[in-house]
């Protein structure tokens, strides 16, 4: 039986203590962050962390992010904290930014996917911070079955994990909707490993130019230094097709694809920033923030409505649009139609 802990109306310290006790006992607790819901366990308890991999069906070499509530905790997990990490933390923590740093021996290799580095962030969601402060640093990937769209509502977590984990904290909808940005600071040049909820432009404003890892652009790799780099991710059951190109041409191409697939008796869903005629439609919103917040919800909702094909409008690859396009292309298995 999974305990559903309702905190939609704000933090209840008694309920936080209950969830924290579960974490300290080595059990799994899903909780909201500002990005997506996380599936949490005691980061320094190897057996507890293994339960995350088992519950998600996650490959053992796909590292986890450790969530902390105080900058001093970073020094307990990383053997080196370079000046770039300090500058970025001062500017953006708590928030949707993850550092990859050299690992201290106290961090179990199961948590880092067998790597000599550790990924760490400080979330800004008050429930997440309260839970960490009441327990311990928490290893938490997104709270979804591995490969599926990430959860932005407690209902999404319930769909994937009810009866499989100890507790789910329902804190309502997450604010950002895509996972944290991951920057590797363990080598000579800062490198973007995953675009996310903090735009790359903001990071470069503080520390200067950042290299972009080839995996961000879809290059296959053997070793994942951060989540989301190596394996199939974010994919619904329906086939996803992303339409990219000039805006006026994108609309015409989406309409053409809808007609083509419906003529073959496919049930077609469209997710876009403007209205389309289709079997099912999900309006993503108009701003970068709205599109990011609605992205995973749209993929899950169109799946729930039983479509066979999802045609997704590509957005401009700047700001949060960089993270949105990274997730959309992965969800589509890089099935991209250019208009």
**Bind-site residues:** 35, 58, 62, 67, 117, 121, 140, 142, 150, 180, 194, 234
C-alpha distances out from residue 315 to 195, 198, 252, 295, Å: 15, 17, 15, 11
Q: What are phi and psi of 202, to 5 degrees?
A: -70, -40
Strand partners, 169: 5
Strand partners, 272: 283
Burial class (CB in 10 A: 0-12, 13-18, 19+), 183: buried
The order of strands in the sheet holding 280-283 is 280-283, 268-272, 309-313, 239-244, 336-338
| Residue 335 tokens, joined | 């099935």
Three-class DSSP labels, 187-221: CCCCEEEECCCCCHHHHHHHHCCCEECHHHHCCCC
| Residue 170 tokens, joined | 């329902």
Binding annotation for L-threonine: 35, 67, 121, 140, 142, 180
Binding annotation for ATP: 58, 62, 117, 150, 194, 234
Identify the DSSP state of 161: H
CB 158 within 8 A of CB 300: no
């Amino acid at each position: 039986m999974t305990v559903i802990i309702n905190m939609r109306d704000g933090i209840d310290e008694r309920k936080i203590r209950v969830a924290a006790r579960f974490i300290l006992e080595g059990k799994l607790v899903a909780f909201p962050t500002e990005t997506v819901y996380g599936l949490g366990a005691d980061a320094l308890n190897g057996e507890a962390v293994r339960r995350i991999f088992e519950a998600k069906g996650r490959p053992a070499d796909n590292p986890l992010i450790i969530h902390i509530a105080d900058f001093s905790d970073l020094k307990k997990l990383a053997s080196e904290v370079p000046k770039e990490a300090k500058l970025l933390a001062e500017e953006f923590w708590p928030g949707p930014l993850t550092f990859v740093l050299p690992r201290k021996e106290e961090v179990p290799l199961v948590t880092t996917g067998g790597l000599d580095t550790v990924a760490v962030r400080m979330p800004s969601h008050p429930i997440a911070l309260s839970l960490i402060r009441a327990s311990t640093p928490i290893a938490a990937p997104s709270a979804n079955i591995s490969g599926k769209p990430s959860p932005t509502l407690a209902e999404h977590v319930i769909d994937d994990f009810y009866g499989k984990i100890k507790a789910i904290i329902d804190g309502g909808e997450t604010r950002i909707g895509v996972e944290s940005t991951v920057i590797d600071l363990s080598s000579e040049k800062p490198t973007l490993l995953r675009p996310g909820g903090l735009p790359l432009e903001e990071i470069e404003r503080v520390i200067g130019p950042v290299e972009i890892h080839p995996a961000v652009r879809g290059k296959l790799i053997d070793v994942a230094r951060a989540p989301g780099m190596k394996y199939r991710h974010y994919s619904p059951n329906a086939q996803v097709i992303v339409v990219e190109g000039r805006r006026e041409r994108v609309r015409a191409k989406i309409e053409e694809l809808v007609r083509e697939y419906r003529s073959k008796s496919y049930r077609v869903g469209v997710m876009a920033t403007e209205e389309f005629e289709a079997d099912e439609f999900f309006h993503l919103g108009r701003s970068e923030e709205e599109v990011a917040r609605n992205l995973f919800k749209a993929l899950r909702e169109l799946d729930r409505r039983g479509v066979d094909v999802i045609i997704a409008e590509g957005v401009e690859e700047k700001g949060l649009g960089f993270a949105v396009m990274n997730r959309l292309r992965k969800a589509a298995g890089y099935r991209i139609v250019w208009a």
